[in-house]
Amino acid sequence: NYGGAEAFEYIMLQQGYTAENYKDTIRLNLLIEEAVKDKTEFTEEQIQAAYDAYVPSVTAAHILVEDEETAKDLITQLNDGADFAKLATENSVDTATAPNGGEITFASGEMVPEFEEAAYALKEGEMTTEPVASEYGFHIIKMIEKPEKGTLEEETDTIKDQLLTAKLADSATIQEVISGIMQDANIIIDDKDLATAMDAYLTTAEESTTEESATEESATEEPAADSSATEESAVEESAAE
């Protein structure tokens, strides 16, 4: 939520984007996502391991305030029947969620540990009875939706999406996929000025590793030359004696 079109355009300009090249960036990212998806297959073992660690996303609402006393006062009001969403809108300093009554949907690992621990301990409809302290202030948390984890078959698509998201966050994976596509296309650039323009995409991960190994071997061999020079010097000194 950037606060409207004008605010969004201002953010884009600050980051060096125009409306057109931002659209181009979005198109490129979508193409990369489809390419990675097309070139990626997950084994049954990978899916099973991810499923075992998987915790379904939950939907909670929270009110964030700066001091514990205010939080305790709000809890008292809630216990007396006050509307959670109304108090969140009026009192929460979390500007991203306050307009929505404090509502937020998240998966495990996306929130600060103190918040997650308190939230996942709640059942649907339950609320924390004491303020939850975190680096951001004091939270009052209410659990809205807490779905049970389905069977492996039911959750497979979700698991694959999560694994794919992890792949898309790995620059080495993206580089490898794009390199493979470029090499398969057998692109030839006749323009001398642009001859090396695609080199970064035409280097495979294996070639990159080989180059690094060669550089390391070269660096290792240099001291041997120094050792040889030392031996020669010793011979010369011996002859002089």
pLDDT grade for 194, boundaries at 50, 70 and 90: low
pLDDT tens-digit readout, 55-71? 899 999 999 999 999 99
The three-class DSSP label of residue 59 is strand
Query: Residue 105's pLDDT is what?
Result: 96
Of 27 and 231, the structure prediction assigns the larger pLDDT to 27
Whether pLDDT at 205 is above 70: no
Over residues 91-110, the mean pLDDT reads 94
Residue with tokens 């002859």: 239
pLDDT tens-digit readout, 112-170? 999 999 999 999 999 999 999 999 999 999 999 999 999 999 999 999 988 888 888 87
The three-class DSSP label of residue 149 is coil
Measured between alpha carbons, how far is residue 185 from residues 171, 180, 181, 208 in Å?
A: 21, 9, 6, 20
Over residues 193-198, the mean pLDDT reads 67
Query: Residue 217's pLDDT is what?
Result: 57
Cα–Cα distance between 188 and 197 in angstroms, integer?
A: 11
The answer to whether residues 106 and 114 touch, using CB atoms and an 8 Å cutoff, is no
Whether pLDDT at 223 is above 60: no
pTM of the predicted model as reported, rounded to 2 decimal places? 0.58
